[in-house]
Amino acid sequence: MSDKAIVKEILSENRAVVVKLPEERPHKECSGCGGCGAPNEKIETIALNLLDAKPGDAVYIESDERKSIKLLLILIGSPILIPLSFYLVGSSLGLPGVVSGGMAAFGLYMAYRIIKFYNKKVESEPPLTKIIEVQRNEKHDQITGNEKHVQITGNQ
């Protein structure tokens, strides 16, 4: 699934900060209350920019869902599951509640270390989001003197 966004700034040769626009409301009565579940705020993310999008360009972005789900499971699951499993192991061994609680605290510390390690790994990889289509801003065409080429698509 692709989402519409605007390029805010270029970070490096192949990375750009994009701002995902709030979704269109399914009905006109809504004043942006968010009751229908559509987000009200803009979402900023870093995207892989292999199509040479420039600041101000409208783009379509796509996220790698498998990596996103894996990241979600690690970030949310590990601080819950690891301490819980440490506590249950301590309880099943017949250890006092204080010792099992200490094991759970140690499990929480281990989850923190796992998340910190995984965060370093993710930062070194390409972004989860990539730009798949660019709709050039006309200001760029006037500056470069190019004819109007409105749309660039790429399938990487």
Query: Cα separation of 150 and 132, whole Å?
Result: 14
Name the residue type at position 126: P
Nearest partner of 153 among 61, 19, 56, 65, judged by Cα:
61
- β-strand pairing of 15-20 with 43-48: antiparallel
Q: Is the pTM of this model over 0.85?
A: no
Position of tokens 């987000």?
Answer: 39
Read off the tokens for 97: 């509640």
Question: What's the N-to-C CA distance of the chain in angstroms?
Answer: 15
Read off the tokens for 77: 């699951």
Read off the tokens for 66: 């498998």
Each of the 156 residues of the chain gets a pLDDT tens digit; together they read 678 888 999 988 788 899 887 765 555 555 556 555 555 677 888 888 888 888 988 998 888 888 878 888 888 999 999 999 999 999 999 999 999 999 999 999 999 999 999 888 877 776 778 888 888 766 544 434 444 444 445 554
